[in-house]
Chain A
């Protein structure tokens, strides 16, 4: 058994990393259980084979894969969906670092659009104005660059971005000019990439190498939690990150309060019990509900904190619409999110769908990934690759996935991991509006690319299954709400059923918005840390 701590956090990514920092700074002892290891950023930086093809930061599909299908009984081969990146810092080590504030209306879906057949729309129990100071804090502590006021849909902010935005590259300059000609208002995407040296966040100015999305940053310019908030948390002497710690169960005491987290220690293969006064889950939108479902007991036969029966339900991804065009001249290689277009973020009345949709540049593929997607071989193959790779650009859409109770994470009784625990299984089918919004957004992206002089080479397709999902954004599976009958956690992200158990990753999102979720997870983690710090005496039980 490990020495007892005040707070045990499962997961060290966007939510867990921030929470550890904020709690330790408030004088609270923290143990963070991280299933993965410290990223070896210098060895694997910009290595497309290891990071994107072999995916050495994720466990093998054969070991830990998730079955995803549209119906509960359909068979499907396991995929990497739902396998969080097992790293100190989680997904923030590898993400593209887009750092958005959700819009007030992202949090008021029900009020703005009313009831929609087949979708379970709700308002968040917190408003944007309540989140605003925490967004501002997160932008400072993590280090976000951007141009305040440039995004036409940007909500009120009490402070500017910490740093100026990333500079325009030739492609985003071209795209921006074309967008303006169409009467649109393109703007630089806010990112957690440093555009100057930052002694306060501990990061350095970007070297503009272009290897951002999907890669560890060699230059300590991408402000992942492993190099920003976690080192600060550890420096207090109050926070400790345990790596190779696979949390398999949250234990309760006789009063029905969370008492400990049991984890399998990768180094010894043995189970370790980590007692804590408060337990916070931040393992991601698939692994967090899985851990609750694994933690069945006589008090909670359907899974911990699951009296509502909603743990795992309302699984949301973002739908990733891509559009590809080939240009006449080559562009320097970049995998950096640079330019956003939000003039169509909110749907028009006549659209017939209510999804919020962001359009973003910077989603090119690396040379190997690009080549693997070009079919064929032989005399023509190499020359075509050499011609098209530097001339091909893509736009990416982040389309909101409407919440539906049938879309859910469950335990897969037929598939156990090598430690003997059931793997997750996801049932997910898009709402008709999701598909229509995706197709319409892809058509708009096509128009933009053509206006910039590109020749669009793919179709605008309404994806029919999860293969079109942006599968790193895993949201909704421990829904936040004020009524214990139709939500899992309350407005403070505390489970309705267990008073000292919290969920601080994107599992709490009641709706998904049309924007990358990380900054919202981080802002919310600061908010929840504040709640825990203020209530530490009563939480300590």
Chain B
């Protein structure tokens, strides 16, 4: 699971998204997207391309591993989109700036968009992003961790995967 430097971000996301649907036993699979279905909140707020880039970025920051569910599987971006629609709506500008900067750093490297980068190269680009916009990046890091470890009622920490990963037995919620 940990060696996958050859995969692109998009392939990885597709794989983990499929796993996320397949793994939780006893839960109904989400309805298949149809043409009539509304676009995800994140797409509506940030645009389709940037929203996809954000998902890749979150997964680079909190990747899946042997006993780590990773950002995608644990619903980090579902948390973020809900927060951006509500209490964090004031941070939309920060997200737009971060994603534009990320895209520009990726393209300056000549490798095309961030989503298409191999894992190692994506990490380098994110390190450059952190150096370029340290405050914005710190805020994003906070939100990624909130999506991973806060109460599932806020939209993230899907199936309490974040809590399970850090060994928290939550007596109220379990």
For residue A386, CB closer than 8 A to chain B, the reply is yes
CB under 8 Å from chain A, chain B span 118-132? 123, 126
0 or 1 for each of A29-70: is its CB under 8 Å from B? (1 = yes): 000000000000000011111100110000000000000000
Chain A residues lying within 8 Å of B145, measured Cβ to Cβ, are 368, 371-372
How near does chain A come to B50, taking the closest CB pair, in angstroms? Answer: 19
Complex interface: stretch among A85-93, A125-133, A207-215: A207-215
How near does chain A come to B55, taking the closest CB pair, in angstroms? Answer: 15
Select one of A47, A50, A367, A377 contacting B168, CB under 8 A.
A367
Chain B residues lying within 8 Å of A345, measured Cβ to Cβ, are none
CB pair B168–A333 under 8 Å, yes or no, is yes
Chain B residues lying within 8 Å of A218, measured Cβ to Cβ, are 172
How near does chain A come to B13, taking the closest CB pair, in angstroms? Answer: 16
Complex interface: stretch among B20-28, B35-43, B149-157: B149-157
Q: For the complex, count residues of B whose C-beta is within 8 A of A.
A: 35
CB pair A368–B146 under 8 Å, yes or no, is yes
0 or 1 for each of A371-410: is its CB under 8 Å from B? (1 = yes): 1100001110111011001100000000000000000000
Name the CB-closest residue of B to A385.
B166
Instruction: Tell whether A49 pairs with B154 under 8 Å between CB atoms, given A207-B171, A367-B168.
Output: yes
CB pair B68–A383 under 8 Å, yes or no, is yes
CB under 8 Å from chain A, chain B span 41-98? 60-63, 65-68, 70, 87
Give the A-B contact count at a CB cut-off of 8 A. Answer: 84
CB pair B61–A378 under 8 Å, yes or no, is yes
Chain A residues lying within 8 Å of B150, measured Cβ to Cβ, are 47-49, 53, 368
Name the CB-closest residue of A to B164.
A386
Q: How large is the interface on A (under 10, 10 to 19, 20 to 34, 35 or more residues)?
A: 20 to 34
Instruction: Tell whether A390 pairs with B172 under 8 Å between CB atoms, given A367-B149, A377-B141.
Output: no
Cα(A386)–Cα(B68), bound, Å: 8
Select one of A48, A209, A389 contacting B166, CB under 8 A.
A389
For residue B2, CB closer than 8 A to chain A, the reply is yes
CB pair A330–B65 under 8 Å, yes or no, is no
CB pair A210–B171 under 8 Å, yes or no, is yes
Q: Which 8 A-B pairs have the closest CB atoms?
A: A49-B150, A382-B68, A390-B167, A377-B61, A209-B171, A368-B149, A389-B166, A371-B145
Question: Can you offer 23 A-B residue contacts whose CB atoms are under 8 A?
Answer: A45-B172, A46-B170, A47-B153, A48-B149, A48-B150, A48-B151, A49-B146, A209-B172, A367-B163, A367-B166, A367-B168, A368-B145, A368-B146, A371-B148, A371-B149, A372-B145, A378-B60, A378-B61, A379-B63, A379-B65, A386-B68, A389-B166, A390-B167
Known: A53-B150, A371-B145. 10 other contacts (CB 8 A): A332-B169, A333-B169, A371-B148, A377-B144, A379-B63, A381-B62, A386-B68, A386-B166, A389-B166, A389-B168
